[in-house]
Structure 1
Amino acid sequence: MTNQPIGVIDSGVGGLTVASELMRQLPKERLIYVGDTLRCPYGPRPKEEVIAYTWELVHFLLKRNIKMLVVACNTATAFTLEDLKSKLDIPVVGVIQPGARSAIKVTKNNKIGVIGTEGTIHSRAYPDALHHINSTIEVYDLACPDFVPMVESGVLSGSHAMQVVEGSLKPLKNHFEIDTLILGCTHYPLLRDAIQTVMGEHVTIISSGEETAREVSTILGYQKKLFQGNRKPRHEFYTTGKIEVFQNIARDWLQTDMNQVRRVELEEVVNYL
């Protein structure tokens, strides 16, 4: 059991921000990552479609005998996490609860902003998670639908990226005195520098990757499923879209050889277990 890989799913390349933190905190663990770049973004899609696509990703990984599933997509987490937990016999971790916990730890004025896809924002998953921990938190959320397509196309910096980020965040920056901002989409950390510049240094930016990886480590440790030997693991990366675009972004973000990225066609899942 300890030798089995950890499975990571995302709508595209954004989950690599979580994978990077998993690789840093758990350097002996092997990852199998699959990003559905062909059908990204998930944010504008109907809930039923997101659920169907998520289960296709999950079934792909279950065939590879994973010991744990990390849903590194906020929209998929919001729509499928509880169902996945109830139906799978392996631990399942999402990115919303860890992100909420991180934000509450650092806020000084209890005013927290959340940016995410339309699906994540409309689900109210972050306000619910934050208020479950602290009902006095003031939450100001904002959908930023232009961010994911920009990241998936490889535009992470420069004048165009700054223009898009500034225009998208204007309502949040101009009307609310937040001191903490949750990046409620795993694509958004790839735009972190631009977001920080626009929001100002007084706003603490929260990415859920670090806290999610910590939770994965804790769960695997408690269940005695951490790999015990010595090795430099060989990770596997799959994409449903163009390999070259995935490789370029992944190589820059993970600072590792990405020549082993493979394209995969997912099978439709009729019965969700």
Structure 2
Amino acid sequence: MEDNRPIGIFDSGIGGTSIWSAIHQLLPNEKTIYLADSKNAPYGQKSKEEIIALSIKNTELLLEMNCKIIVVACNTATTNAIQELRSKFKVPLIGIEPAIKPAATHSKTQIIGILATQGTLNSELFNKSTAKFKNIKIIEQVGHGLVQLIENGEINSKEMTRLLHSYIDPMVAANIDYLVLGCSHYPYLIPQIKTMLPSNIIIIDSGEAVARQTQNILVEKLGLSNESDIEPIFYTNTNPKVLKEILNNKCKVLQINF
């Protein structure tokens, strides 16, 4: 059954565009609406109550835009607010969590690293996920400052390189063989991170898995799909310059208040 209502996606800023990109690649005919709540970035330094309130606000706005499914393209929002969102709204909601399971399952050294926000690492959902892997040593590292630099368009700055080395070098020294990126902003740092890692260390992010889950919910459970090619729309509540740049100036970006 064709349903031309859009897929709604929100994040604390521009980082969730890495999730949007994976969804758009897998489902190119689906209309998408993306909300970048950059005014309130980063979510990772906010209280659980603040994160829930912001997530509800974003979800309500996407529902006003007639979205048929909503992707919470933010690890911090998922790990802190997804249960509240699912209890409050009837629309299918897809979250994003750090991909601990594939890393823990395939690790040969039994030591894996995770780079994430404070809000994600402190969350009850994250701690439940990691508790399942008692034989694996998980080195947790808060990515202080990374989201702000990405939001400011400073992905390749000297400060970014300095911070990344300070976070990643100790994990390499600890003999990790998997590095899990636990924030949807961080895939934009993969080119830099790769230069800091030995070739045996595998980087994992959640983009493809979220895209497949979105497809699964749409097609298999809801029986909904869209076969028309509609231009995606991106909304931000701050200056759209950096968001336009990260999308290579190829997509429609509008600044609105929300």
Structure 2 length as normaliser, TM-score?
0.92
Percent of matched pairs sharing the same residue: 32
Which segment drifts farther, 154-163 or 86-95? 154-163
The Cα of 1:213 is off from its aligned counterpart by 0.6
Give the equivalent residue in structure 1 for 2:254: 262
The Cα of 1:222 is off from its aligned counterpart by 1.3
The Cα of 1:42 is off from its aligned counterpart by 0.9
Query: In structure 1, how many angstroms separate the alpha carbons of the residues matched to 2:125 and 2:137?
Result: 14
Query: In structure 2, how many angstroms separate the alpha carbons of the residues matched to 1:224 and 1:165?
Result: 41
- Residue type of the partner of 2:190? R
The Cα of 1:225 is off from its aligned counterpart by 3.5
Q: Conserved in 1, the CA contact under 8 Å of 2:13 and 2:42?
A: yes
Change in CA separation of 1:155 and 1:219 when aligned onto 2, cut-off 3 Å: same
Query: SS where residue 22 of structure 1 aligns?
Result: helix
Give the equivalent residue in structure 1 for 2:139: 140
Gaps of 5+ in 2: none
Q: Conserved in 1, the CA contact under 8 Å of 2:80 and 2:124?
A: no
Task: Trace 1:105-116 onto structure 2 (pairs within 5 A).
Answer: 106-116=106-116
Query: In structure 1, how many angstroms separate the alpha carbons of the residues matched to 2:85 and 2:22?
Result: 23
Query: SS where residue 49 of structure 1 aligns?
Result: helix
Query: In structure 2, how many angstroms separate the alpha carbons of the residues matched to 1:167 and 1:62?
Result: 41
Query: SS where residue 38 of structure 1 aligns?
Result: helix
Q: Conserved in 1, the CA contact under 8 Å of 2:9 and 2:34?
A: yes
Structure 1 length as normaliser, TM-score?
0.87
Change in CA separation of 1:24 and 1:71 when aligned onto 2, cut-off 3 Å: same
Q: Conserved in 2, the CA contact under 8 Å of 1:114 and 1:126?
A: no
Give the equivalent residue in structure 2 for 1:88: 89
Which segment drifts farther, 31-40 or 199-208? 199-208
Gaps of 5+ in 1: 267-273
Query: In structure 1, how many angstroms separate the alpha carbons of the residues matched to 2:213 and 2:131?
Result: 20
1:117 aligns with 2:117: yes
What per-residue deviation string (whole Å, max 9, x for no partner) do you get for residues 53-79 of structure 1? Answer: 111111110101111111111110111
Q: Conserved in 1, the CA contact under 8 Å of 2:113 and 2:179?
A: yes
Query: SS where residue 96 of structure 1 aligns?
Result: coil
Give the equivalent residue in structure 2 for 1:234: 231
Give the equivalent residue in structure 2 for 1:193: 191
Change in CA separation of 1:65 and 1:102 when aligned onto 2, cut-off 3 Å: farther
Q: Conserved in 1, the CA contact under 8 Å of 2:37 and 2:237?
A: yes
- Residue type of the partner of 1:82? Q
The Cα of 1:85 is off from its aligned counterpart by 1.6
Task: Trace 1:190-229 onto structure 2 (pairs within 5 A).
Answer: 190-229=188-227
RMSD over equivalenced CA pairs, Å = 1.9
The Cα of 1:105 is off from its aligned counterpart by 5.2
